[in-house]
Structure 1
């Protein structure tokens, strides 16, 4: 009995390792080509346990964390001024260490640093260029927020852009059926409704909410392909997409995803959030001065504003990915509270799709 249990555990470990190696190989295929004398456009994405960043003899030594066994550790030596330097280093969950010297080195080389939790929440974003505020842009944010008419115009234009982008996602990245047609018609109605002057933010939210309901209803025919495995069984609820809300929450933002597609969406939105925050800071805007979103003082509310029209583009990337891959139960982690998390190497691939 003991030998049988050990054999089963070994098989489970082997499948985890095989799937991890599969996603590592796929990550290499997602690298963007670089033109002559162009700086590296790809992000350096780290995950696993035991990540290490340190400065040695003026160069940055990076050691990738471990996610499975056996695994050869990835190591990188970054030299100052080299065109191979990434524009962003992204730390996905996991563990490890870095020093103050590393932060100084990254700042000198204009490399941003972002950390995303396993839940898909943004932990911290540090722009490689620091925060060189542009007073005219910050004044614009404050004045737009303070003026009800300008604020409404900004919000209506923002949601119109979101609905316009959602039309492209619905028509180009989902199978055509009655729910898709209804969502397309709903988005067009929403765009038209937002063309006229509105005076109440709740009107905009009602239009957006109705369109979002139809939009994600069009996803309900999604059926990811699964590799059958006795060692990593797939819950029944994962076989078909049921909607954006978690089975434990009725909120549409689904902070605690309980299925793979929503878990990937959360990760994708977090990566896009980090990307937009780095750009906003570099352009001189204040991440805290949201216009549509007005949350607590420490929240990057303006980035949430900028994220709205980008969500359908993240959705499109995830939809294409889900519909073109075969997954295994070993690609996901089901926590004791029912939350679904991506395996570390799959998380790296999802991040690379968006960044």
Structure 2
């Protein structure tokens, strides 16, 4: 027997919005993610509920270099992976907490001798050499951030001292210690950095979200599971960087799991973590510029019941668009690691060296260009109105709707500060001294010294009209009066003391013959 319909069901229609590669990256999030090939086109679908997105990318002109999937609800076909490999595009899968789950890169020819020398790096000395170079570069970057952006010269000097110790370190444990102490000093300078939100959203923002705080989460006693937006963004940026470092190592034929600085672990790729180290200050600088330039939106984040702060899907998509910038930043260090491993290999040929697939350095040098291309600018973070949170363009801080309110508040604040500044003992003492000097000058002035032609009528008819050609600052400086008083004299709102008339006549080029 068929069940009767007791609740009317409304048909649901999915409105598909388009997905376009931004900065060479497409990010999929939500539920029911689908990645498959249909008639030679790569078809991508994602979304939540009836809000879906879809795109069909042809094999030519798609501009796709990275496909990032956030979450694990959906399907990816083998044909789609083959399509990405044919187009030299990488596939990255991230968990919703930012953990790197999977990376794939097109398979390239590799040399087993390079991986063998990587495995023997500890005994050949390559491990110490590479560790020293990576950590020295990282500490130099942290020193620059502390000095130029955080304006903490004391922290920069402290990091510089650890940087000098790395150059003479005899072993990897000493370098690890210098890196740890340098990081402790570095992150202490970040503790009180404010994190702004639009004024209208402040009632919904937890108090501990309004500062950067510490890198150590109270949930894990480590950077994992951040409890505020700033650290959550940084963790996600690091996850993107880790994926790019893993892809870079695999592209060069290295084993991403055999590290030199980070110890072997089944839960991470140690070499990828090693290659991340010198690029971390660039990521930190990007986040710091974002935090100091404008506010964040409350809707970009959500808080779990244990206090863990997570990024919403659309905002995580914006973060993922920086992937290619970190790829270009980590590429020189990955190739440097390959050269160090190769140079210490016993069977390495003198006339051969690992291919520079990431930077194309050999090809660039053959064309007379710089061997390593400059790191491109990271995509700009979205700018928001500091009052309502609306997206704005240019260098404005408020939108056109909030501009009048912001201007009014700025004038009120400036007036309040001016009133406070005008009542300080120092200012009042200067004002009293100025008034006494004017009173003395008036008492010492003799009306008999005034020319006979210089009377009130002459001042009003001859001198005052010509003062329009004299600047207010010139009048104030010549008479020794304030700028507002000089402006009133020039505009005719006030008549100065007769002792000033002759001086004003000279400024206006008025004589008895005029």
2:92 matches 1:114:
yes
For 1:47 and 1:333, how far apart are their aligned partners in 2?
A: 15
For 1:285 and 1:345, how far apart are their aligned partners in 2?
A: 34
For 1:240 and 1:90, how far apart are their aligned partners in 2?
A: 30
2:133 matches 1:133:
no
Q: 1:165 to 1:231 in 2, by over 3 A?
A: closer
Shift of 1:259: 0.9
Q: 1:284 to 1:232 in 2, by over 3 A?
A: farther
2:168 matches 1:196:
yes
1:86-235 matched pairs, under 5 angstroms = 86-93=64-71, 95-127=73-105, 129-130=106-107, 132-147=109-124, 149-174=125-150, 176=151, 180-199=152-171, 201-228=172-199, 233-235=204-206
2:16 matches 1:47:
no
2:333 matches 1:333:
no
Match of 2:62 in 1: 84
What are the ranges of 5 or more consecutive residues in structure 2 without an aligned counterpart?
1-16, 325-514
For 2:167 and 2:220, how far apart are their aligned partners in 1?
A: 33
Shift of 1:263: 0.6
Shift of 1:31: 4.2
Contact 1:293 1:301 in 2 (8 A): yes
Contact 2:201 2:298 in 1 (8 A): no
Shift of 1:228: 4.2
Contact 1:50 1:97 in 2 (8 A): yes
Match of 1:324 in 2: 293
Match of 1:57 in 2: 39
TM superposition score normalised by structure 2: 0.56
TM superposition score normalised by structure 1: 0.79
For 2:206 and 2:64, how far apart are their aligned partners in 1?
A: 38
Is the partner of 1:89 in helix, strand or coil?
Answer: strand
Structure number with greater CO (CA < 8 Å, separation at least 6) is 1
User: Which of structures 1 and 2 has the bigger CA Rg?
Assistant: 2
Encode CA deviations 1:171-215: one digit per residue, 9 max, x unaligned.
3433x2xxx22221122111111111423x332222111111111
For 2:302 and 2:241, how far apart are their aligned partners in 1?
A: 23
Is the partner of 1:338 in helix, strand or coil?
Answer: coil
Shift of 1:221: 2.6
Is the partner of 2:48 in helix, strand or coil?
Answer: coil
Match of 1:278 in 2: 247
Contact 1:91 1:116 in 2 (8 A): yes
Shift of 1:256: 1.1
Q: 1:50 to 1:323 in 2, by over 3 A?
A: farther
The structure 2 residue matched to 1:244, chosen from 215, 219, 228, is 215
Shift of 1:94: 6.3
For 1:228 and 1:327, how far apart are their aligned partners in 2?
A: 11
For 2:74 and 2:103, how far apart are their aligned partners in 1?
A: 17
What are the ranges of 5 or more consecutive residues in structure 1 without an aligned counterpart?
1-23, 33-41
